[in-house]
């Protein structure tokens, strides 16, 4: 894991008149080698079936990616199947109607527009 960490930016900051501190921002990078790890026993068809099964349960592409990573050891679905999760879902007709980021923005706006006072709920436009 440490081989994937790279120093993105380095700068020096003055704390006191006589004290300087070197600050570094670390960033992770994907490995250059885009092949399936030798220890991964899942095939491309198994991963696609798993994506379809989870999509039918109503999970979003990012939730599916987290489950595949944590439970099945698939770090990058694109390396195993050749396609991203959302593209696989679109090909099978299981893609959500609106993009995930737009859905969360709408949900946040609606959640923020309600407020509660004395047991009563009010909606503000």
Q: How many C-beta atoms surround the C-beta of residue 52 within 10 A?
A: 16
Question: Hey, is 15 helix, strand or coil?
Answer: strand
**Average pLDDT rounded to a whole number, residues 96-119:** 83
Gap between the Cα atoms of 66 and 45, Å rounded: 18
Q: What are 19's strand-pairing partners?
A: 16
Q: Which helix (H) or strand (E) holds 90?
A: helix 85-91
Cβ(54)–Cβ(64) below 8 Å: yes
Gap between the Cα atoms of 52 and 64, Å rounded: 10
Q: What is the pLDDT of residue 120?
A: 74
pLDDT in tens, 92-107: 999 999 999 999 888 8
Q: What is the pLDDT of residue 26?
A: 64
**pLDDT over 60 at 33, yes or no:** yes
Reported as a pLDDT band with limits 50, 70 and 90, residue 8 is low
Cβ(77)–Cβ(48) below 8 Å: no
Candidates 91, 41, 85; CA nearest to 64 is 85
- CA geometry: angle 68, 99, 51, nearest 5 deg: 25
Candidates 99, 35, 93; CA nearest to 61 is 99
């Amino acid at each position: 894991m440490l081989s994937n960490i790279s120093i993105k930016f380095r700068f020096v900051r003055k704390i006191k008149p006589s004290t300087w501190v070197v600050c570094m921002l670390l960033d992770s990078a994907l490995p250059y080698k885009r092949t399936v790890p030798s220890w991964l026993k899942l095939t491309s068809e198994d991963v696609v079936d798993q994506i379809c099964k989870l999509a039918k349960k109503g999970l979003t592409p990012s939730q599916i990616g987290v489950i595949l990573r944590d439970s099945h050891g698939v770090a990058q679905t694109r390396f195993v199947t050749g396609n991203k999760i959302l593209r696989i879902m679109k090909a099978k007709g299981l893609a959500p109607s609106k993009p995930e980021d737009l859905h969360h923005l709408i949900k946040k706006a609606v959640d923020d527009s309600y407020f509660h006072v004395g047991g009563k709920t009010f909606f503000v436009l």
